[in-house]
Amino acid sequence: MNYQQTLDYLYKELPMFQRVGPAALKADLRNTILLCESLGNPQHKFKSIHVGGTNGKGSSSHMIAAILQSNGYKTGLYTSPHLKEFTERIRLNGVTISPSDVVEFVEKIKPQIDQIKPSFFEITVAMAFDYFAKNKVDFAVIEVGLGGRLDSTNVIDPLVSLITNIGYDHKDLLGGTLAAIASEKAGIIKHNGRAIISERQSEIESVFIEKANTLSSSIKFAQDQYKITASDNGVGYFNVQKIGSALCQDLKSELGGGYQMKNIAGVLSVVDELIEMGYPISREAIERGIAETITLTGLKGRWQKLGDSPLIYCDTAHNAEGITEVLKIINTIGYNKLHMVIGMVKDKDSHSVLSLLPKDAIYYFCAAKIPRALNAEVLAERAAVYGLTGYIISDVASAIKKAKSEATPEDLIFIGGSTFVVAEIEEL
C-alpha cells in the first residue's frame, strides 16, 4: 500500500472516535497491551511525561516538548486529534513522522490488526510508541486522548503526570459529575510517581489528593508553586512569580490568551520536577520553549490569527470552559461587529456552549464533514433558543466565505465550536 491507501485503510477499517464517536472506544487497555507486547513493549524504552485533563492538555504538551527540545533533548510528542494531516499526531523534535514510516508501521503490524481488531486510536498510540523507541528519544510527551484511566496512552510509566483542568466534557463516557470525570482523569497518576495538577478546583481537588496518597505518589498543585499574571506588554506576555521569589517579567508566549496562565504554571511545575529528578533544563530553554512553542512544535488552532482587516481568529475550544476563555479574549479586542462561524458535534453539550455566546454577534451555523457533526439546521434551532441568529450554511468553507463577504475591515470573525470545524479552515 502507498501512503494514501494506508490512510484509507486506517480510516475505513478501524473504528475512529473522532468520526463515529463512542462506538470506537474500548472498555479496557487489553488491545493496546497486546499491540505493545507484539512490538516488544516500546513504551518502556523511553522516558515520558503524561498529560491529561479537559482543557489545556494539548497546549501544555506542546510547551513541555518545546522546552525539552530547546534544551537539546531529543523529544517525541504524541497528540490527538490531528487538524490537517495524520502525521501531525507523532512528532520528533517538532518534525512530523514521515508518510513512509506510517506505511512501514502499518504493514508491519497488519497481522496483529487482523487478529486483535484494535481501534484507530489504539493503532496510532502503538505507532507513536514504536516510533519513539526506534528513534531513541530522550523524552516523549504523551497527551491523553480521552479520560485517562482507560485511555490507550495509559500503558506508560511516566516520570511525571500532569492534569491540566477538569470540565464537563464527554459526560456520557466519563461520568455526569466533575468528581466522576476527575476520577477518570486521575487514572494517569502512577504508583510512586509524581503528579502535577495545574489548578486547584475546590470541589474535586480531594479526588486527586486521595488518588495520589493511595498510590504513594507525590502531588503538587501548580498554582501553589507559581503565580502567573498578564503583563502590561499585551496579549502573549506574562509575569511569572515562583512563590517566594521573583522569576520572570514579561515572559513571552506564542500561545495567546489568558487561559495560558494556568497552563504555563502547570508546565513550569513539570519542569521543576524533571530538574529535581536530575535532568538539567536551563532558564533559557524554558523561556525559548514557551516563546516559540508554535514555531518549535507546529501547534495549530489555539487562538490562531488567520487574517487582518477584518481580524480573523480560530480556536479549537469546544466546551463551556474553553469557550468561556475564548470569549474573555474576544472581549479584550476592539472591533465593530462580531461574526461567529460555529459548528459542533452531536455528542457534545451544545446547550452549555450556546448559552454563553453573545446575542449581538452574527452567526454562521455550519457542520464539519464527519459523521459526528451536528446538523447545521439543528444547531441553528438550538441557538435560536438563546437568541442567537444568523445564516445556516452547511459546509465550513462556504460559511467562512460568507462571513468574510459580510464583514467590514473593522469587524472580527471567530471560527470554532469544534476541533473539526477548525480543521477545515483552508488558511490553517
Q: pLDDT by residue (tens digit) across 53-109?
A: 988 999 999 999 999 999 999 999 999 999 999 999 999 999 999 999 999 999 999
Residues of the chain with CATH 3.90.190.20: 304-423
pLDDT of residue 306: 95
Q: Which one, of 362, 316, 408, 273, lies nearest residue 84 by Cα?
A: 316
- pLDDT: which is higher, 7 or 19: 7
User: Rounded to 5, what percent of the chain is helix, strand, coil?
Assistant: 45, 20, 40
**Pairwise CA distance, residues 313 & 268, whole Å:** 27
Q: Give 110's contacts (C-beta < 8 A, 6+ positions apart).
A: none
Positions of CATH 3.40.1190.10 in the chain? 3-297
The confidence score (pLDDT) of residue 174 equals 66
Beta carbons within 8 Å of 269's beta carbon, 6+ residues apart: 162, 196, 198, 220, 222, 225, 226
Whether residue 167 contacts residue 58, with contact meaning beta carbons closer than 8 Å, is answered with: no
In three-state secondary structure terms, 161 is: strand
Cβ pair 408, 310 in contact under 8 A: yes
Question: Omega of the bond prior to 81 within 30 degrees of 0, cis?
Answer: yes
- Which of 53, 52, 56 lies closest to 326 in space, CA to CA? 56
Whole-number average pLDDT of the chain: 92
Would you state the pLDDT for residue 168? 77
Would residue 304 be called left, alpha or beta, if left means φ above 0 and alpha means ψ between -120 and 50 degrees? beta
Q: Tell me the backbone φ, ψ of residue 244, rounded to 5 degrees.
A: 100, -10
Tell me yes or no: is domain 3-297 CATH 3.40.50.300: no
Q: Which contiguous run of DSSP H or E holds residue 162?
A: strand 160-163
CA distance 385 to 349: 14
The stretch 197-225 carries a mean pLDDT of 96
pLDDT of residue 16: 62
How confident is the model over 312-370, as pLDDT tens digits? Answer: 999 999 889 889 989 999 998 999 999 999 999 998 889 999 999 999 999 999 999 98
pLDDT for the residue numbered 175: 53
Q: What is the structure's pLDDT at 204?
A: 95
| Beta bridge pairs of residue 339 | 362, 413
Residue % of the chain over a pLDDT of 90? 78
Q: What average pLDDT does this structure show over 162-169?
A: 86
* Per-residue cell: 17: 472516535
Q: What is the DSSP letter of 87?
A: G
Helix (H, G, I), strand (E, B) or coil at 322: helix
In this prediction, residues 236-253 reach a mean pLDDT of 77
Cell numbers found for residue 268: 513550569
Q: Considering only 55-69, 117-131, 173-187, 392-406, which range has the smallest mean pLDDT?
A: 173-187
Domain boundaries 304-423, corresponding CATH code: 3.90.190.20
